[in-house]
Structure 1
């Protein structure tokens, strides 16, 4: 069993959460949208509302303690990029980030 930090609870993020949970992992889901967090709360190990581009918020999650982090933000390139960078800066062991286009993947 792995501990996973999943940031972004849209369609892609929820699908990732389902698959990770099916494999027996613990998943902490994060989203800035309260409605998305509430909708996913029952399926996740834990969930929080928060801004993943806020360094203090990311630090408060203790990202070093997760086996890996998934950035499933697809609708905002800048937020995805900032979140990925913050996770790495805060010592995340492994970061997997969603990229919608080739140019997005180059930056991540």
Structure 2
């Protein structure tokens, strides 16, 4: 049985979290829309989700790394207000 944990994002992992999120979104778009040969993921100005958008989500919510069986497999950002919460970002790494 797979053990899954949500581990609070450490400040030292913030930049990698943003890069992993962008890579996951880029990959998903390439698979969904057939852009496998575009290679736009290597260009900073052509991200599917901007670093600023991810930073804003992290700053206004709670960011977590998703760990499965000791391996980092993704991330999530949630925003809680009172007894209600919203999933701001969710990504899985390939």
TM range (shorter): under 0.3
The structure showing larger relative contact order (alpha-carbon pairs under 8 Å, at least 6 residues apart) is 2
